[in-house]
Amino acid sequence: MDFNDFLRLSSKIKNIKLPAEASQLKMVPAFREELIKRQGDAIKTAKKAGVLALFYPDGNHQTKFVLILRKTYEGVHSAQIGFPGGKLEPQDMSLKQAALRETFEEVGVSIHTIDVLKELTPVYIPPSNFYVHAFIGFTPTTPLFKLQEAEVEALIEVGLQHFLDDKVVMTKRVNASYGVDIEVPVFQLNGHIVWGATAMILSEIKDLLKELI
C-alpha cells in the first residue's frame, strides 16, 4: 500500500471502534480463552507496559511497520518477536509516553516525529504478569533505525500488503510457558513466526485496517 493511502486512513483509524477481544481471541489456543475469562484479578496488580505499532514509508513509499527480535536472555520473552516498547517507568507520565520512549531507546525513532493515532485493546501476559497497552502510530518519513544492542537482536520490517494477506495466518507448534509443545495460531511474517500477545495485537490491527480498506 502506498503510504499516502495509509495517511488517508489515519483520521478514520482515530475514530473507528476497536474490534477488541473478538480479534485477539483469533490468535490464542482454545484453552487460553478460558484463562482469559479468569484473569481479571491478576490484571489489577499486574505490571504495566506500553508498546508501539509504528507505521512508516519505505524507500519506495510503500507502507511498512516494524517488529523487533529480542536478544536471548534469562526471561520468558527471550528471543521472541514483539513491538518496540517496554515497562512503565516512574518518569513516564503515561503508557503512551512509555511506548514512545522505549521505541526511541530500542530502534532510534525520535518521539517528536511520531503521531500516535489510537490506543488498542490491552493484553494481559500471564507468564510475565504484564498488562500491555499497545498504540498504533506513524512517522511520515523513512526512519534511520538505530538498534539498542543490549536488547534488540534484529529489526523486522513488515510490508503492510504482506501483513494483510490472509495466507500469513496459520497454525504452528511452539514451546510455550503454559505448555511444553502446543499448537497455536501464528502470523508468519518475513519468514518469522509471531505468536502470543504480539499476534493478538496484530490481529486487532489487521481487523481494524481491513474494515477501512
What pLDDT score was predicted for residue 77? 46
Q: Whole-angstrom Cα distance, residue 182 to residue 153?
A: 26
CA 61 to each of CA 56, 84, 125, 143, 185: distance values in angstroms, whole numbers, following the listed order: 8, 22, 35, 12, 31
Name the phi and psi angles at 36, rounded to 5: -60, -40
The whole-number average pLDDT for the span 82-96 is: 96
Summarised one tens digit per residue, pLDDT across range 35-82 is 666 677 778 889 999 999 999 999 999 999 999 999 875 555 457 899
**125 or 52, greater pLDDT:** 52
In the chain, the percentage of residues whose pLDDT exceeds 90 is 74
Domain architecture of the chain: domains with CATH: 3-164+196-212 (3.90.79.10)
Per-residue pLDDT averaged across 187-197, rounded?
94
pLDDT at residue 126, rounded to an integer: 84
Q: How confident is the model at residue 34 (pLDDT cuts 50, 70, 90)?
A: low
When pLDDT is cut at 50, 70 and 90, the band that residue 118 belongs to is: very high
